[in-house]
Amino acid sequence: MNQIEEKDWKLYREKLPEWQEAYMERLIKEYVELLNSDKAASEKFGALDKRIRADRQSLGVRIIEERRSKLQNILTGLIIEHVISLDDLQDFSEELRESTSQWIQMYCKNLES
């Protein structure tokens, strides 16, 4: 895929904040579960701190509206990191969906090697 369609770019810019909010809501629910566990307060605090530090590095948290030329990489990364799924791309062009699916397959194949 060489050229990102304008429709796909606009749709991405519209959906990114929604995807990020949904992802961060999932993270917060996981943090609440961690805090509600039966572990000692110091263990919970340490585990939460470690988890938040790691999650800050997630594409779903740190992504900002990048350049249009990087859209394919961004979408692939968001799917690989479980921020979104292929189903979240249903409103995008078929070319972009297929290309993203192929990139994910290549990524998974490289992991198996």
Q: Is 20 left (phi over 0), alpha (psi -120 to 50) or beta?
A: alpha
pLDDT at 2: 59
**How big, in percent rounded to 5, are the helix, strand and coil portions of the chain?**
75, 0, 25
Instruction: Name the percent of the chain lying above pLDDT 90.
Output: 80
DSSP 69: G
67-103 pLDDT per residue, tens: 888 999 999 999 999 999 999 999 999 999 999 999 9
Token duo for residue 34: 């961690």
The DSSP line for 57-93 is: TSHHHH-----GGGHHHHHHHHHHTTSS-GGGGTTS-
